[in-house]
A and B are shown apart, each in its own frame.
Chain A
Amino acid sequence: MPILNKAIVFKQENCGDGLQKALNMKPIDILFAVRESGLKGRGGAGFPAGSKWMLASAAQSDKKYVICNADEGEPGTFKDRLLLTEFTEQVFNGMTICGYAIGAHHGFVYLRGEYSYMIDEMQATLQQLHNSGRLGKNILGSGFDFDIEIRLGSGAYVCGEESALIESLEGNRGEPRNRPPYPANTGYMGFPTVVNNVETLATVPILINKGVDWFTSIGTEKSRGTKLISVSGDVDRPGVYEIPYGTTIMEIIEMAGARDVKAVQVGGASGICIPEAELHRNISFEDVPTGGSIIVFNNSRDMLKILENFMEFFTEESCGQCTPCRIGNKKLLDGVFMIERGECSVQYLRELISLGETMQVASKCGLGQSSPNSFITIMKHFGDEILSKY
């Protein structure tokens, strides 16, 4: 499964030997390089990777951990799958570089349960890295030791949230933790832990190989580099596209062959719905950020059915610990059903949108905070259409 358009960062010829280069640098210089590159997390939240690594590096502890978040559970997102199969080594090298930079000697890949079919090949790559001295003891003669272990998730979307992921790794129920403290301070087993998305980590060795200046020349002021986007829905060529930040949504869906577009869901079920009139908006942290998914809906689609689908997802996938998310999503779903039955007053719909706004600020983790996004944006752009139809 290759990148469907012309790749920019994720080209094999860019990879070189980023690991060797990194190990020739001092850890502190890597931290600064990653910070200066402006690399932000590709998993959704967009936290600057350099700052996260620096926090973990500054934390004093005899043990630290690196976790590669390969849970890729957001509906419509499948770009990490591409990296895990086509750029496996770069993902692992990115983890090793992170470990070297922050002083960790152990890494975990938390692999989405549905991706278990990949595990044999990933293990084989790990073995090759071991055999060639690029993993294990005294990596490439640098004196630095690092090991990577693959752990399988078992199908809970919330376990992609970093603190729930850590709970799950520890053998507990996958439920997000209170923060602060953040994982960079108190993570796996209480030790400082960097959790990064597959794409973030895979970018690092290439960034080190090609240099910070090369990297910062791509993208926009506040969004450096490129983003892998999984495009699906009503398009002729669904698949993964690599775009420099700042590319408009229109450009992306045209590449994928979209016609007769009614709306685009950016960022999966937890993302926002962009109507046709706003397709000139661009993918970047300044405008429309995303973990990497675009779902295209053409004019034949019923937005309420789409919303019903999303809300059903969250009602089931909430971890169930906090009130706004556990019950709130159910109320929003019930609201959708009420609309379908023609039983929802305009007044109650307003009440539900207001509830959604509370969920955005009152939920304990990103799941509950983002789950009402689609309800709110679909109602904002298509509310009249929906109410007139039902």
Chain B
Amino acid sequence: MSDNAYKDRIPVSQQALVIENNEPEKIGGTINIEINGTPYKVPFGMTILESCKMHNIHIPTLCFHEDLCIAGVCRICLVEVEGMRTLQASCAYPITQSIKIHTSSEKVRKARRHILDLMISDHYGECYSCNRNNNCELQKLAKEYGVDFYRYGHVQEPFYEVDKSSYSVVRDMNKCILCRRCVRTCIDLQEVGALDAVNRGYDTKITTFLDKPLAEVICINCGQCINRCPTGALRANDPSDEIWEAIDNPQKHVVIQTAPSPRAAIGEEFGLPAGTSLTNELNTALKMIGFDKVFDTNFTADLTIMEEGTELLLRLKSALVDKDPNVKLPQFTSCSPGWVKYIEHFYPEYLDHLSTAKSPQQMFGAVIKTFYAQEENIDPANIVSVALMPCSAKKFECNRPEMDSSGFKDVDYGLTTRELAQMIKEAGIYLPELSKSKFDEPFGEASGAGLIFGATGGVMEAALRTAYELVTGRPVPFENLEVLPCRGMEGVRQASVHLENVKPEWSFLEGVDLNFMIAHGTANAEKVMEALRRGELNDIHFIEVMACPGGCIGGGGQPIPTSLEIRKKRAEAIYKEDEGLPIRKSHENPHVQYIYEKFLTDGPCGHLSHKLLHTGYVKRGSYIA
């Protein structure tokens, strides 16, 4: 952030005061302060917490999260500001005067310890039976402050029933410390609003509308709240016991598909820095654990591009050639199950804009229990199909009742990055040191286009690589196939590609600008949907939406913690892996060509594809009875 950025933190009226006092240079300038007796210069308006971070002075935090707005409620980050009677929450205190700060005076240490002791007294649970053991911010603070007894007692019995109603998110409010990060995530970051604080005083709690089970409210299962929960109060619904059981059952043929984002992040669970891809090491580990086959979800990501891209071209043809007034454009991507549930709840009247193509996970599920079962001569009833995903919403997706086009439950279990890391550790394997191995046939290695699905803008980039070439016969006109306008972390992006010298069969697209948009995080999706509602997106053809900030690499099943920095590193890892692959366009994936030759013989969007690879949606609405 540039120094000037802090200007926005200062209320305009207060800036006016500064200007009136003839000190306009302060805004956007620096200010001299003293921290623990040492003078420092900091940008005007920067908070005490940020200023201290900038100068490597540690202040503990709990309710603070860099992705979220400031709450100032846990009070653990208190510091002493000379001249003020009370201690100040450093996260919420913008520096506009030359103040003297003490970050660890006796008064501060005593207050912090008391606050911590209060939180612990009100927190039910034992660390060794918690899924956040060793990755819990409360536990970390307890250690930092040397907590070795319960000053104010300790909750002996759980007070709240654990809500396991959702396929995706489990809420155990006995472990909640009311930092409200989940509330700010759900309301501000994601603009969903499934969680909020109710009641007053000691009875305050975080809950859903009318205290309903999470499965019955407007939760979109994105799991972003899980990623930002400092304790074990929120976690994903973990299927690893069932998966172990399947692995241990010799009757079962257990296959797993792995998505690119977990592969780029699982190293973090083993202490590696963010942005280390362990794709091929993971293949080895999965076999060691006992999976019979390991497939690359990118195969069906390539298939998705073929299906979704064809669908788009068909919609364009209906609109431009047949002048069909009923054809819905822009077309939205449908591979993010959080986004799908979001639009089902909040914009059900626009469901026809959603591509009918299933997500790569679900396409693979259908293909495994049909094509693969046939090819390998295995009874699909004995196949247990697991999907390693960065995502908690994928758990919900595979349990949607319509996801049974193979005649069976297409995907049996969605497994998150965190949960698989746990299984690998349980098996006594240290992932980073394993040798590399390849994906299994008959799906083999996929293209780089499927790979970059993991980062926001990746689906669009992959689709353009294929669509442009299908239509013009030439590769997409970007150096090294890097469609740069698709990349980056801005919330909503828009760009276009000009189509000319098209192939004769696509002549209706001659001279057309293909306009596309990309949004990630449902708060940004809301902006797009509102623009659509206002009629401002009439010339847009294709919109990629991912429910999670950063796309799948920032998914609700990914390693904790998360931050913009971490998400960028994971995205870089994915783009780097793409760069090194021999095949980088979905339509050039030979396995994709093979399946269309051998199995889906009537081609993309043909009859069998429609049955296996496409789906329908539910008008849910946001009204909950």
Question: Would you call A320 and B178 a contact (CB within 8 A)?
Answer: yes
CB of A211 closer than 8 Å to a CB of B: no
Question: Would you call A180 and B93 a contact (CB within 8 A)?
Answer: yes
Question: Would you call A324 and B118 a contact (CB within 8 A)?
Answer: yes
> A156, A191, A364: which contacts B72 (Cβ < 8 A)?
A364
Quick one: which of B181-240 are within 8 Å of A by CB? 196-197, 199-204
Question: Would you call B73 and A321 a contact (CB within 8 A)?
Answer: yes
**Taking CB as reference atom, which chain B residue is nearest A352?**
B152
CB of A11 closer than 8 Å to a CB of B: no
Question: Would you call A327 and B121 a contact (CB within 8 A)?
Answer: yes
Question: Would you call A181 and B14 a contact (CB within 8 A)?
Answer: yes
Question: Would you call A60 and B16 a contact (CB within 8 A)?
Answer: yes
CB of A25 closer than 8 Å to a CB of B: no
Question: Would you call B16 and A324 a contact (CB within 8 A)?
Answer: no
Cα A329 to Cα B203 in complex, Å, equals 12
Question: Would you call B96 and A317 a contact (CB within 8 A)?
Answer: no
Question: A173-B197, A327-B121, A327-B122 given as contacts; is B73 within 8 A of A59 (CB)?
Answer: no
CB of B54 closer than 8 Å to a CB of A: no
CB of B87 closer than 8 Å to a CB of A: yes
Cα A61 to Cα B11 in complex, Å, equals 11
**Taking CB as reference atom, which chain A residue is nearest B122?**
A327
Question: Would you call A331 and B200 a contact (CB within 8 A)?
Answer: no
Question: Would you call A329 and B16 a contact (CB within 8 A)?
Answer: no
Nearest-neighbour CB distance to chain A for B2, whole angstroms, equals 22
Nearest-neighbour CB distance to chain B for A103, whole angstroms, equals 12
Cα A333 to Cα B76 in complex, Å, equals 22
9-residue interface stretch from A88-96, A198-206, A220-228, A353-361: A353-361
Question: Would you call A330 and B202 a contact (CB within 8 A)?
Answer: yes
CB of B107 closer than 8 Å to a CB of A: yes
CB of B119 closer than 8 Å to a CB of A: yes
Nearest-neighbour CB distance to chain A for B200, whole angstroms, equals 5
CB of B115 closer than 8 Å to a CB of A: yes
Question: A180-B93, A331-B121, A364-B72 given as contacts; is B115 within 8 A of A317 (CB)?
Answer: no
> A60, A315, A361: which contacts B85 (Cβ < 8 A)?
A361
- Give the interface centre of A59, A186, A190, A329 by most chain B CB atoms within 10 Å: A59
- Give the interface centre of B16, B87, B152, B199 by most chain A CB atoms within 10 Å: B152
CB of B624 closer than 8 Å to a CB of A: no
Interface string of B7-18 (1 = CB under 8 A from A): 000111110110
Nearest-neighbour CB distance to chain A for B72, whole angstroms, equals 4
Quick one: which of A147-168 are within 8 Å of B by CB? 156, 158
**Which residues of B lie under 8 Å from residue A58 when comparing CB positions?**
16-17, 20
Quick one: which of B1-46 are within 8 Å of A by CB? 10-14, 16-17, 20
Nearest-neighbour CB distance to chain B for A345, whole angstroms, equals 13
Nearest-neighbour CB distance to chain A for B52, whole angstroms, equals 17
**Which residues of B lie under 8 Å from residue A358 when comparing CB positions?**
110-111, 114-115
CB of B518 closer than 8 Å to a CB of A: no
**Which residues of A lie under 8 Å from residue B85 when comparing CB positions?**
361
Nearest-neighbour CB distance to chain B for A164, whole angstroms, equals 11
**Which residues of B lie under 8 Å from residue A185 when comparing CB positions?**
11, 13-14, 17
> Which size bracket describes the interface of A in this complex?
35 or more
Cα A156 to Cα B11 in complex, Å, equals 28
**Which residues of A lie under 8 Å from residue B115 when comparing CB positions?**
323-324, 358, 362
**Which residues of A lie under 8 Å from residue B12 when comparing CB positions?**
60-61
**Taking CB as reference atom, which chain B residue is nearest A184?**
B13
CB of B92 closer than 8 Å to a CB of A: yes
**Taking CB as reference atom, which chain B residue is nearest A338?**
B153
Question: A59-B16, A60-B12, A185-B13 given as contacts; is B96 within 8 A of A323 (CB)?
Answer: no
CB of A316 closer than 8 Å to a CB of B: yes
Question: Would you call A364 and B73 a contact (CB within 8 A)?
Answer: yes
CB of A322 closer than 8 Å to a CB of B: yes
Question: Would you call B86 and A323 a contact (CB within 8 A)?
Answer: no
Quick one: which of A54-76 are within 8 Å of B by CB? 55, 58-61
Question: Would you call B119 and A323 a contact (CB within 8 A)?
Answer: yes
- Give the interface centre of A323, A361, A369 by most chain B CB atoms within 10 Å: A323
Question: Would you call A320 and B204 a contact (CB within 8 A)?
Answer: yes
Cα A324 to Cα B113 in complex, Å, equals 11
Question: A58-B16, A180-B94, A327-B121 given as contacts; is B75 within 8 A of A322 (CB)?
Answer: yes
Q: Chain B residues in contact with chain A, CB under 8 A? A: 10-14, 16-17, 20, 70-76, 78, 85-87, 89, 92-94, 96, 107, 110-111, 114-115, 118-119, 121-122, 151-153, 177-178, 180, 196-197, 199-204
Q: Can you give 26 contacting A-B residue pairs, CB < 8 Å?
A: A58-B20, A60-B20, A156-B200, A173-B197, A178-B92, A178-B93, A180-B14, A185-B17, A186-B11, A190-B11, A315-B202, A316-B203, A318-B201, A320-B197, A320-B201, A321-B73, A323-B75, A323-B115, A327-B118, A351-B152, A355-B118, A361-B85, A361-B86, A361-B111, A363-B86, A369-B86
* Known A185-B13, A320-B202, A329-B202; further 9 A-B contacts with Cβ < 8 A: A58-B20, A60-B16, A180-B93, A316-B200, A323-B177, A326-B202, A351-B151, A361-B111, A362-B111
User: Which are the 6 A-B pairs with shortest beta-carbon distances?
Assistant: A320-B204, A59-B13, A60-B16, A178-B92, A327-B118, A186-B11
